[in-house]
């Protein structure tokens, strides 16, 4: 807990500053998080006995996020979706160069999954940051997800009795999940003013994020279970890997972005 606390004290101000000011520092932050995450994912798959194409996954992780930044400057956001098609094509072709006599298709699929799971989904941080001048919606997402994760962890650790998904993550409990969900709703209402979200939208987003964040967390738990590891890595003292700390954002980031674009903006 001491290591966790010290890490938060160091990392939180850096994240806040990069998010608030945006620009190159924010781009570097997102790139760093994505590259750590994609390589942690591929390393877990390597332990499972698969051989993803690291160079393809890293290249397109950078490309997804870099192109997202470029498309925002050019008001060319629709092209973001086209890039996914191009990336899928190249990753399929990479199977020709993977030097394995069997399971090549599995390696290609894992290569694709890694770059989508990190680079593609992480690029939505840039789109969310761009919705307001100083990233109000992204601050809203960070605070609600953190509130959900912290309370779910603490309540589950102290009072958890009924297992949420024992075959996937034995330590997660219904008590923690419910406490995190309710806290997420409360946090959405409390922090809605940061992004000028009205009460109804804040309530809806609190419910959606409170549910999806926990499913997003379970997805990474499933990956770790398959790989037979406790943490995705050891990059963050007291917290494990970068992907361990970003797992709840993977699915909630695109959720928030499209909700805002379709129903608020």
Q: What distance in Å separates the CA atoms of residue 63 and residue 9, rounded to the nearest whole number?
A: 31
Quote the pTM value: 0.91
CA 122 to chain centre: 6
- Residues of 10-21 as b/e, b for ≥16 C-beta within 10 angstroms? eeeeebeebbbe
Q: What distance in Å separates the CA atoms of residue 245 and residue 241, rounded to the nearest whole number?
A: 7
pLDDT digits 0-9 by tens, 31-87: 999 999 999 999 999 998 898 989 989 998 999 899 888 888 877 655 556 666 667
pLDDT attached to residue 20: 95
Residues in the chain with pLDDT values less than 50: none
Write out the two tokens for 30.
């997102």
Q: What distance in Å separates the CA atoms of residue 203 and residue 178, rounded to the nearest whole number?
A: 16
CB atoms < 10 A from the CB of 110, how many? 24
Q: Which long-range contacts (CB under 8 A, 24 or more apart) does 7-14 make?
A: 7/236, 7/237, 7/238, 7/239, 11/236
Burial class (CB in 10 A: 0-12, 13-18, 19+), 26: buried
Q: Where are the domains of the chain?
A: 2-264
pLDDT attached to residue 188: 97
pLDDT attached to residue 67: 87
């Amino acid at each position: 807990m001491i290591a966790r606390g010290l890490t938060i004290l160091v990392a939180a101000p850096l994240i806040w500053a990069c998010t608030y000011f945006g620009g190159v520092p924010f781009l570097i932050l997102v790139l760093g998080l994505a590259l750590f995450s994609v390589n942690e994912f591929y390393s877990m798959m390597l332990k499972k006995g698969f051989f993803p194409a690291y160079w393809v996954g890293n290249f397109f992780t950078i490309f997804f996020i870099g192109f997202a930044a470029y498309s925002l400057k050019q008001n060319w956001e629709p092209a973001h979706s086209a890039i996914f098609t191009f990336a899928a094509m190249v990753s399929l072709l990479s199977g020709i160069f993977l030097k394995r006599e069997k399971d090549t298709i599995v390696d290609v699929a894992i290569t694709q999954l890694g770059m989508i799971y990190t680079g593609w989904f992480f690029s939505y941080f840039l789109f969310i940051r761009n919705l307001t001048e100083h990233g109000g919606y992204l601050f809203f997402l960070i605070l609600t997800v953190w509130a959900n994760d912290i309370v779910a962890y603490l309540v589950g650790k102290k009072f958890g009795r009924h297992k949420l998904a024992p075959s996937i993550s034995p330590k997660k409990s219904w008590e923690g999940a419910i406490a995190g969900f309710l806290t997420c709703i409360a946090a959405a209402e409390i922090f809605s003013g940061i992004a000028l979200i009205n009460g109804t939208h804040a309530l809806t987003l609190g419910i959606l994020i409170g549910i999806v964040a926990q499913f997003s967390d379970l997805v990474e738990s499933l990956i770790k279970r398959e790989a037979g590891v406790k943490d995705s890595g050891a990059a963050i003292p007291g917290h494990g890997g970068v992907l361990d700390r970003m797992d709840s954002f993977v699915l909630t980031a695109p959720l928030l972005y499209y909700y805002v674009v379709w129903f608020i903006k």
